[in-house]
Amino acid sequence: MIRERGEMCVMLCDVDHFKTFNDQHGHMAGDELLRAIAQAVATNAKRPGDLAARYGGDEFALILPNTPLEGAEHLAQMILDKARHIELFESPATLNASVTLSIGICHSVPSKDLSPDKLLSAADAALYQAKESGRNRIVPHSI
């Protein structure tokens, strides 16, 4: 992206209240939820250069080259919508609530002075802000 001088976004997604879910429904259900979230994330990273990966326990990362901030926000909204409709059990009432995510996005035009760690750190700060602002939301940030 430095060579092309193109825009890119790094997105971090975190399952809201995952520990509580895991405690209430068990680790097998927690694993099932993580697989469903991974599917929601991966199916929205459609372009050949997009990369979706699990990043820690209940977090997922997306690297989106050649993506403006508005495009990443649209993608994040699609992921949030898909997560809300995840049904893990025979009866959705068993969950007592829909699955939600908090998402932080960092947008940049990378340069030699901007390390990958800075991009990831900025996305993490935006994710933290989404959590602190009430969860179930997207917080974008440009550097």
User: What are the pLDDT digits (tens) for 60-106?
Assistant: 999 999 999 999 999 999 999 999 888 776 544 555 557 899 999 99
Mean pLDDT of 11-37: 92
- Give CA–CA dist 76/101, Å, rounded: 10
The answer to whether residue 67 sits within a structural domain is yes
Number of domains in the chain: 1
The answer to whether residue 85 sits within a structural domain is yes
CA 89 vs CA 16, 47, 68, 112, 124: distances in Å: 18, 31, 37, 48, 31
The answer to whether residue 124 sits within a structural domain is no
DSSP for 126-142? HHHHHHHTTSS-EEEEE
pLDDT, averaged across the chain: 90
Structural domain span for residue 63: 11-101
pLDDT value of residue 46: 87
Question: Does residue 136 or residue 3 have the better pLDDT?
Answer: 136
pLDDT value of residue 97: 59
The answer to whether residue 115 sits within a structural domain is no
Question: In terms of DSSP H, where are the helices of the chain?
Answer: 18-25, 27-44, 69-84, 116-132
pLDDT value of residue 115: 87
The answer to whether residue 42 sits within a structural domain is yes
The answer to whether residue 122 sits within a structural domain is no
Read off the pLDDT band of 1 (50, 70, 90).
Answer: confident
The answer to whether residue 86 sits within a structural domain is yes
Q: Return the CATH number at 54.
A: 3.30.70.270
pLDDT value of residue 114: 87
The answer to whether residue 56 sits within a structural domain is yes
Percent share of the chain, pLDDT over 90: 70
pLDDT value of residue 98: 74
Mean pLDDT of 27-42: 92
Read off the pLDDT band of 117 (50, 70, 90).
Answer: very high
pLDDT value of residue 89: 62
